[in-house]
Amino acid sequence: MSASGTYVCLCNAVGFELTGEPALACYCHCNTCRVYGGAPARVGAYSPEQFKLTKGSANLISYESGPGKIRNSCKTCGSMIYHILPNGLAVPPLGGVKWASDGVPVVPTMHIWYGDKGLEEANDDFIKYDGFPAGFA
Ligand SMILES: [Zn+2]
Ligand SMILES: [Zn+2]
């Protein structure tokens, strides 16, 4: 299966590609995602088979923002690259992904950590969890 989308950071040192539909498609409003991502929420998590770092692994700086939650950024340009969840899923910055013409749509179906949100309101009928739903890592 060809890549659904590719990403390169601002300085072109680090890149990754994504394949297929996200293993988990939701909006995460947790405080650390908000600070790390600079956005109201982060969207979409990919399995290790779907997320492939294509270059620049030696150019990453990593920070453990919570137990087993590793946030990686480019040490040259500061772009956030991805973070790894304790369950091994990778959360990339989808806003920076260049999607292939046949890329697989990302269709979130829920909100998590909604209790951490700011003043923005989600105007949809998706289920809203204050933390992780049962069974999430
Ligand atoms: Zn960079
Ligand atoms: Zn989060």
Letter for the amino acid at 66?
G
Query: What is the domain-level CATH number for residue 85?
Result: 2.170.150.70
CA dihedral angle for residue 60, residue 14, residue 102, residue 34, rounded to 10 degrees: 40
Ligand 2 centre distance from Cα of residue 69 (Å): 10
Whether 46 is covered by a domain: the verdict is: yes
Label residue 134 by pLDDT band (50, 70, 90): confident
Contact 50, 106 (CB under 8 A): no
Distance 46 CA to ligand 1 centre (A): 21
Q: Which two tokens stand for residue 100?
A: 């292939």
Evaluate whether residue 61 is within a structural domain. Answer: yes
Q: What is the pLDDT of the chain when averaged over all its residues?
A: 93
In a domain, 32, yes or no: no
How many structural domains compose the chain? 1
DSSP H or E stretch at residue 8: strand 5-8
Å from CA of 14 to ligand 2 middle: 22
Distance 95 CA to ligand 1 centre (A): 16
Whether 70 has a pLDDT exceeding 70, the answer reads: yes
In the block, which residue shows the tokens 């600070």? 35
CA of 73 from ligand 1 middle (Å) equals 8
Give the global pTM. Answer: 0.89
Question: What's the domain range around 76?
Answer: 5-23+42-97
